[in-house]
Amino acid sequence: MINSLLANVIKGWDRNTMASKIAKDLPHGAYVNLGIGMPELVSQYVEEGQEIIYHSENGLLGMGPQPNENEIDLDLINAGKKPVSILPGGSFCHHADSFAMIRGGHIDFCVLGAMEVSIKGDLANWSTQRNSSSRGCNGFSCWSQKCICYDSTFN
């Protein structure tokens, strides 16, 4: 059993395949937080007829895919500081309100990047390295209430 699992891990999916698989797994109408890094790609792969309301912790609800180059608005960015778009019905909120959504258990799913995951699912997702801009204890501490998808490449 473990051998067959390992075979899949070694073969692996690339970043985009993984993002599209996660997007397909999300149920219609779910509120989903996307973490920094690979999870950001998930919002690119929403299927037609499927409505997923993406949340970004910097204060965006109803986040859309990456905009075209001529539509980039640098005031409209996701938690990973990359330009995004906002879908009809989306809203902006205060950072504290954004965390009230998270800690109040209103978000249904979170797609979280992991630094290391063991074959049993044990997770290492924080680091104190000085030479990186976005490491720290990450959002994991806030996400213990509901379902979480890990999203990471295995090397």
Binding of another protein by 100 (CB under 8 A): yes
Rule CB under 8 A: is residue 148 a binding residue for another protein? Answer: no
SS3 56: strand
Burial of 10 (0-12, 13-18, 19+ CB in 10 A): exposed
Q: Least distance in Å: CB of 7 to another protein?
A: 40
**92 is a contact residue toward another protein (CB under 8 A):** yes
Q: Which CB contacts under 8 angstroms, 24+ apart, belong to 140-145?
A: 140/112, 142/99, 142/102, 142/103, 143/33, 143/102, 143/110, 143/112, 145/105
CB of 120 to another protein, least distance (A): 33
Q: Which residue of 55, 84, 111, 152 would you call a contact of another protein, by CB under 8 A?
A: 55
Compute the distance between CA of residue 54 and CA of residue 66 in angstroms, rounded to an integer.
13
Nearer to another protein, 90 or 148 (CB): 90
Name the one range near another protein by CB under 8 A: 5-13, 98-106, 121-129, 146-154: 98-106
For another protein, the binding residues (CB under 8 A) are 31, 53, 55, 61-62, 86-93, 97, 100-101, 104, 106-107
